[in-house]
Structure 1
């Protein structure tokens, strides 16, 4: 395990030990020991292996001062700027640094009043659970959005394919309609020509029949006429 990275939480010097034992009954400073135990429960010691030996680093039990709070604010701004945390929106770096700052505040409050520190611990855990719930909801919403996007893209491609097919079908029908219109116009033209020819032929036949009728009528009248010089 690698040594822990620098944190806004104030720690004591690392030491080669596995645990920090305390006995409140035998120690005259029972309150101090109790506060130390509460601090270790709230902010567990950091452990890592280096050179084949186990190193442990406990949070500092030094009584905080006003300058510590001012220094913490300065370090907070420096750390945000150094790590390039975003000022707005979701930023894991900013979230991590502010979490360290809150832990340091809990440490300072716990040393002054353990009960108040435990109350701050409840607030921190509640905030973390809420953030975890929001994170889970965000991931679920993101997965749902991705599924909907994929489904929408598939439907879009399907609609584009259907649109293309319908466009081609409309174009084919348009060509077929154009061909049928030209064919109908050709047929109408031919029928009109035949009709005109039939009218001309009919008129010619009627004229011929009238001429024949006139000729036969004249011939019949000539036949029925009395010969010249006939006296009745």
Structure 2
């Protein structure tokens, strides 16, 4: 595992975790050994002890900003946040480092940018560290504010991701399905096509009715002519029958006389 990258949060010098340190309680501070002290042999005079903050402040500081651990060459290292009070120059240097890292990592000025969010989060953690050293209660309150902001940002990112997914889905549906204007135009064309079919059917119906009327008139004329012909034939046959019957009646009367 590689060492953690540089951060705007101020840390102490990394310390080697000895096997005896692993058996201690989590709240116990690990034994700090400088790399130079590991190389030198012989008795080394202890360095002057700096003025350290109260143990309660250190516990609160470790609870707010937990130390980071990593492995390197089969050895475990731990690095705790610095408990040194910050000066005005430290704050000015923090601002300069923030601006420099934003430019170096090419963070976007607008919109959602993970790089900008990470750097501002580190800067806020450093401010919490500086304030917690002087007033632990204020640091705990800022911790609540930080957690609430992170939770809100997480919700916004989730909503943004779901909104992007919904937008892409709607865009794909819009590409597959015709738009409102296109659908209206298609329906109007379909309506015109149906009206044209109706007009064609009406024209066919009128043509059939006209043909049937003409055929009926022709059949009526033929029927009338046939009836008249039959009537004339009947009259001719009737007259002819009467002519045949009349001489017979004259002969029968003459025979009777």
TM-score interval (norm. to shorter):
0.5 to 0.7
Aligned equivalent of 2:93, options 71, 79, 84: 71
Residues 1:94 and 2:120 are matched in the alignment: no
Partner of 1:117: 139
Partner of 1:80: 102
CA distance in 1, matches of 2:117, 2:184: 49
After TM superposition, give the deviation of residue 137 of structure 1 in Å.
3.4
CA distance in 2, matches of 1:106, 1:156: 54
CA distance in 1, matches of 2:91, 2:136: 18
In structure 2, the CA distance between the partners of 1:83 and 1:41, relative to structure 1 (3 Å rule), is: same
In structure 2, the CA distance between the partners of 1:134 and 1:174, relative to structure 1 (3 Å rule), is: same
Q: TM-score, normalised by structure 2?
A: 0.59
After TM superposition, give the deviation of residue 5 of structure 1 in Å.
1.1
After TM superposition, give the deviation of residue 2 of structure 1 in Å.
2.3
After TM superposition, give the deviation of residue 122 of structure 1 in Å.
1.4
Partner of 2:7: 7
CA distance in 1, matches of 2:142, 2:190: 70
Single out whichever of 43-52 and 117-126 deviates more from structure 2. 117-126
After TM superposition, give the deviation of residue 85 of structure 1 in Å.
0.9
Partner of 2:170: 149
Gaps of at least 5 residues in structure 2 are: 22-28, 32-50, 218-257
CA distance in 2, matches of 1:44, 1:86: 29
**Matched pairs, number:** 197
CA distance in 1, matches of 2:179, 2:139: 60
Residues 1:45 and 2:67 are matched in the alignment: yes
Residue deviations 1:151-203 (CA, integer Å, cap 9, x gap): 844882599799869857854863784587489679979x99xx9xxxxxxxx
CA distance in 2, matches of 1:67, 1:129: 32
After TM superposition, give the deviation of residue 6 of structure 1 in Å.
1.0
After TM superposition, give the deviation of residue 43 of structure 1 in Å.
0.7
Gaps of at least 5 residues in structure 1 are: 23-28, 196-232
CA distance in 2, matches of 1:163, 1:110: 68
After TM superposition, give the deviation of residue 119 of structure 1 in Å.
1.4
SS in 1 for 2:15: coil
After TM superposition, give the deviation of residue 105 of structure 1 in Å.
0.2
CA distance in 2, matches of 1:31, 1:68: 18
